[in-house]
Amino acid sequence: MSTQKSTIFTGAAVAIVTPFTNNQVNYDELGALIERQIAGSTDAIVICGTTGESSTLTDEEHRECIRFCVEKVAGRVPVIAGTGSNDTDYAIDLSRYACDVGADALLLVTPYYNKATPKGLIKSFTAVADASSKPIILYNVPSRTGVGITLPVYKELAKHERIVAVKEASGNLSAIAELFAECGDSLDVYSGNDDQIVPILSLGGKGVISVLSNVIPKETHDICQNWFDGNVKASADLQLKYLKLANALFYEVNPVPVKTAMSLMGFCNEEMRLPLCEMADENKAKLIAVMKEYKLI
Catalytic annotation, residues: 139, 167
Q: How far apart are CA 297 and CA 295, in angstroms?
A: 5
Total residue count of the chain as it appears in this document: 297
SS3 for 140?
strand
Q: How far apart are CA 30 and CA 9, in angstroms?
A: 22
Residue type, 95: S
DSSP string covering 100-151, please? HTT-SEEEEEPPPSS---HHHHHHHHHHHHHH-SS-EEEEE-HHHHS----H
Q: Cis link prior to 255 (omega < 30° from 0)?
A: yes
**Helix, strand, coil shares of the chain as percentages rounded to 5?**
50, 15, 40
* DSSP annotation of 204: T
Residue type, 238: L
* DSSP annotation of 128: H
State the angle between helix axes of 88-100 and 59-73 in degrees (0 to 180), rounded to the nearest 10. Answer: 30
Is the CB of residue 227 less than 8 Å from the CB of residue 12?
no
SS3 for 253?
coil
| Backbone dihedral region for residue 115 (phi beyond 0: left; psi -120 to 50: alpha; all else: beta) | left
Q: How far apart are CA 111 and CA 120, in angstroms?
A: 10
